[in-house]
Structure 1
Amino acid sequence: MSWLAWGFALLAGALITVQAGANSQLKQSLGTPMPALLVNYVFGFGAVLAYALATRVSWPALVKATGAPWWAWLGGLAGAVYGVAAILLASRLGAATLMALVVTSQLFCSVLLDHFGWVGFEVHPAGWGRVAGCVFMAAGFALIARF
């Protein structure tokens, strides 16, 4: 994998933490979580739309969209669940504990999805290295959440 891809993934991960903090602050300013989350998604949609228009992204035929498996449509719902959880928990848990929980659960889920090849991932067996990585991640979370 190229260093550019690794760098972009690291930037995206950092921005998830910034997003949680920004949304939490917006929730405090607006007094309630749902308007803050809607603002987040409106700005996000606007950015994606602007990019698509600027780069002249072509839209696939409807037949391709209807051919997608049912679970392929769950990405937006999963993002919304994350958004609600982050906006409700960021100020209570703090950035480090919230992100440690999120990243730990992402790793456990990723290993499970890879192992069984679910939701379109190629099979990558959960060998001892991956299991040990999950254990170390859980230990890291425990250290972050405790101190």
Structure 2
Amino acid sequence: MLIGIILALAAGALVGVQNMFNNKVNQASGGWSTTALVLGMGFAASLVMGLVFEGTELFTVQPMQTWFWFSGILGVGVVTCLVQGVRRLGATLATAIAMASQLICALWWDSLGWFGLEQVPFTMQKGLGALLLIGGVLVFKFGGVSRAKETSEAV
């Protein structure tokens, strides 16, 4: 379990850094070229790492439902939406909203057992946790007055 927690923490940190890098690439090249560059480099890195760690086993795929093959297309939506979200909201708020959405959707899909997931019963504690996360995002966005705003109102 500890390894899973460490890996999840690392994934969250990497997503945060990736969002900021993607935003800088977007400023220099535009949205669709950013998406193509990010996913193309991800493909190249995955191919190289897969060959290094798995060798020819990389190309052995077990039977699965056809629609799972299209998960890479979802990556286009992820990168495009996050790049545009960071541009419009800033890195922290866009990432917080994306994580809250991710948690709520995962909770929903787990509770229903969708996409081949083991069904996990919905509990009030899980619902409360999701609501607290949403509340935290709202407090982050609207909960304080910035120093710049205080100064401009005082003058």
CA distance in 1 between counterparts of 2:122 and 2:4 reads: 24
CA distance in 2 between counterparts of 1:143 and 1:70 reads: 42
**Unpaired stretches in structure 2, ≥5 consecutive residues:** 145-155
Bigger CA drift: 131-140 or 50-59? 50-59
TM-score using structure 2 length: 0.84
Aligned residues: 141
TM-score using structure 1 length: 0.88
Higher relative contact order (CA 8 A, sep 6+): 1
Q: Say which of 58, 62, 72 aligns to 1:76.
A: 72
CA distance in 2 between counterparts of 1:110 and 1:25 reads: 29
| Counterpart secondary structure, 2:120 | coil
CA distance in 2 between counterparts of 1:60 and 1:33 reads: 34
Identity between Structure 1 and Structure 2 (%): 26
CA distance in 2 between counterparts of 1:86 and 1:33 reads: 10
Listed as ranges, the matches of 1:44-123 within 5 Å are 44-55=42-53, 56-58=55-57, 59-60=59-60, 64=62, 67-123=63-119
2:9 is the alignment partner of 1:13: no
> Alpha-carbon deviation of 1:54?
0.7
CA RMSD of aligned residues (A): 1.5
Equivalent in the alignment of 2:151 = none
**Unpaired stretches in structure 1, ≥5 consecutive residues:** none
> Alpha-carbon deviation of 1:57?
4.7
Extract structure 1 runs of 4+ deviating beyond 4 A. Answer: none
Looking at CA atoms only, which structure, 1 or 2, has the larger radius of gyration? 2
